[in-house]
Structure 1
């Protein structure tokens, strides 16, 4: 398994990185004219900046992943057609929202259709909790997937933040594939997305020359959610929770806090922990660096959890991950004292 997946994954990552960078270079002049992101209450940038680099990232991911999966020709390397189609659809929704605003409710309905296509196209024997009725599990998975897609979008509010999240998650899935814990097609898609994000990173480093836009953050959320769902369907629950734990904790805690305060949770804001960190004196590089380091720790815990049979040990690793996330969020929420 390692021998067959290693060269394919490396090939997918390298090709996707190169294609992503080329497509971003080619599309940026057009996006400068038609898709500028103006600063608002949520923004960390101060000048209008083009958005839409997700076009290059997603195109590179799907083109390269599809080509390498076909090249693989293995029994477990069939192209997940529903996932690719849903990714293109939700990317189109995101692009429309980038160029011309789509109201909240229609946007959620369209996103829900994309998530539903991924969830309900899966074979009935792929189950998270076999004792639970299938329709209940699929509906709950739909709601969770819709939330995950949106939280990735919510958290894409700082230069390199989505890179710091997506690269460790996808790299961990690739590693699990090499260890025999993921199908070839899953591993290749993860490798392609990882490479495409690395190709995007130089353009998004502070101060960013271009943003992903909803055309990038929404389909990236869908693809990451599908990868995590693959782990859950194969009974790797701890890994599926550990890998996105910082995003889950920050976005969910922020949502509940805004609901308790009766704030319009759908409106732009700067109350995520990573945003509060920049307001509290942390540089952008410091914030994304700490998030990236935290995600590497979570990825290591996730991979370790798949090698353990005892549920108690997996719970212990989850607890360790939760403590690490809580410490970083607490640190971000406090004013940074300057050292002299």
Structure 2
């Protein structure tokens, strides 16, 4: 039992933020030299910008989160703390010299599978054979890791997603609705993202890179899966609902058009918004507010504990997401100036 989990969670958040910020300052000259992201037709940035700040985010998360999460033993975290660095290494190599699609996908599957198939057998979601359920979780995990990577295409976008999600997970943990290791990891990840935010605000001085976005996807996915295993499946869906809907609809649209859906592009709703006249700050601000609303709905789901309530809350969440996506899809109407 953790004494005063709220105070410890705040300490974890602040410590991870400080370590991440210091690491970015130290790493930025190296990234500027060896990991420069140059603008292309699919980019949202206009000037060459160093990428790879995910090294600091993931490093701070694992060091601080691991230290505080393992107070009752490290064994339950072993597979996660092997899989996350593996995925970060895959991302780092891909940032410097792109890896072909198939071997990259295989390595991602290895990392996600390590987390999914080493989980205790008594952690279940569906009344189906365990092997089938874990295979479905592997597929879902692979999609979630990649969609977080796909959605990391605008300054502060991943911050606007990860901070509300991790904050609500920490709140659940403080009230005893999540195991302490999950709470500590979420607090550390949220803190690290806060430490990264000043360097990534428009116009960004540094990007996460795949070395950050891929393992962040795994950490978020693992945390949300833990929430679902505690019986809060609706909350686990509501928290990342904007990312799930934007990325999935974009994938289906590209597949329907027979486009190479695995290739980089600029057709996500948030990217189309900037093409439609929205500022980066405006898009990210809308996503951040939406995610706060989704976090409130997730909290209501956990409190109410009702199937009927879950259905209503998910419909409300989908409605809110639909409003934002429709707004992003249409050219921004600028007020006309006076005569």
The yes-or-no answer on 1:96 pairing with 2:93 is yes
Range that drifts further, 301-310 or 16-25: 301-310
Unmatched tracts of structure 2, length 5 or more: none
Match of 2:278 in 1: 282
1:69 deviates by 2.4
Q: Please point out which of 235, 242, 255 is paired with 2:238.
A: 242
TM-score, length-scaled by structure 1: 0.97
Look up the SS of the partner of 1:45 in the other structure.
coil
Match of 1:215 in 2: 211
In the aligned structure 2, how far is the partner of 1:135 from the partner of 1:299? Answer: 31
In the aligned structure 1, how far is the partner of 2:114 from the partner of 2:197? Answer: 30
Match of 2:117 in 1: 120
Match of 1:254 in 2: 250
In the aligned structure 1, how far is the partner of 2:53 from the partner of 2:46? Answer: 19
Look up the SS of the partner of 2:304 in the other structure.
coil
1:47 deviates by 1.2
Range that drifts further, 212-221 or 7-16: 7-16
Q: Please point out which of 133, 136, 139 is paired with 1:140.
A: 136
Contact preservation (8 Å) 1:54, 1:214: yes
Paired residues in the alignment total: 336
Q: Please point out which of 312, 315, 319 is paired with 1:319.
A: 315
Contact preservation (8 Å) 2:250, 2:267: yes
1:43 deviates by 0.9
Match of 2:156 in 1: 160
In the aligned structure 2, how far is the partner of 1:338 from the partner of 1:208? Answer: 25
Contact preservation (8 Å) 1:2, 1:180: no
The yes-or-no answer on 1:81 pairing with 2:75 is no
In the aligned structure 2, how far is the partner of 1:109 from the partner of 1:8? Answer: 38
Alignment of 1:257-276 (within 5 A): 257-276=253-272
Provide closer, same or farther for how the CA distance between residues 79 and 61 of structure 1 changes in structure 2, counting only shifts above 3 A. Answer: farther
Look up the SS of the partner of 1:154 in the other structure.
helix
Match of 1:310 in 2: 306
Look up the SS of the partner of 1:307 in the other structure.
helix
1:78 deviates by 5.9
Match of 2:297 in 1: 301
Contact preservation (8 Å) 1:69, 1:79: no
Contact preservation (8 Å) 2:69, 2:182: no
Match of 2:20 in 1: 20
Contact preservation (8 Å) 1:281, 1:336: yes
Match of 1:109 in 2: 106
Contact preservation (8 Å) 1:66, 1:79: no
1:74 deviates by 4.1
Q: Please point out which of 201, 205, 216 is paired with 1:205.
A: 201
Contact preservation (8 Å) 1:17, 1:197: yes
Provide closer, same or farther for how the CA distance between residues 79 and 135 of structure 1 changes in structure 2, counting only shifts above 3 A. Answer: closer
Alignment of 1:36-55 (within 5 A): 36-55=36-55
Q: Please point out which of 176, 192, 195 is paired with 1:196.
A: 192
Q: Structure 1 runs of 4+ off > 4 angstroms?
A: none
Contact preservation (8 Å) 1:2, 1:178: no
In the aligned structure 1, how far is the partner of 2:76 from the partner of 2:62? Answer: 10
The yes-or-no answer on 1:66 pairing with 2:63 is no
In the aligned structure 2, how far is the partner of 1:206 from the partner of 1:233? Answer: 37
In the aligned structure 2, how far is the partner of 1:234 from the partner of 1:79? Answer: 16
